[in-house]
Amino acid sequence: MIQANIHYAKTHLSRLARRVREGEIVVLCDRNRPFAEIRRLPSARASGRRVRPLGLYAGQVVMAPDFDRAPSAAL
């Protein structure tokens, strides 16, 4: 785990990002007081693929049978 003050993190962001990519955790500090943590995303997110469960709202969404009908002329 690496602790970095804000100024250092801004100056060396690419260096810290490389270490995070390798699996290290960076703790951001403001005047040596930790306030945030930067860590690598899980592999499914890092690859850009989002896994969504199918049928999550099955039976909860109701659509009218004519939902895609063209609107009638304005009155």
- Tell me how crowded residue 16 is: count the other CB atoms within 10 A of its CB: 19
Write down the residue that tokens 């785990």 correspond to.
1
Q: What are the pLDDT digits (tens) for 1-55?
A: 999 999 999 999 999 999 999 999 999 999 999 999 999 988 745 556 677 788 8
Residue 7: predicted pLDDT: 96
Q: Which of 58, 9, 6, 57 is nearest to 32 (CA)?
A: 6
pLDDT above 70 for 74 = no
- Domains annotated on the chain, with CATH: 2-46 (3.40.1620.10)
Residues pairing with 28 in the sheet: 4, 36
Q: Which residue has the higher pLDDT, 34 or 71?
A: 34
Would you say 8 and 35 are in contact if contact means Cβ atoms under 8 Å apart?
no
- Tell me how crowded residue 9 is: count the other CB atoms within 10 A of its CB: 20
Provide the pairing of β-strand 2-5 with 26-30.
Answer: parallel
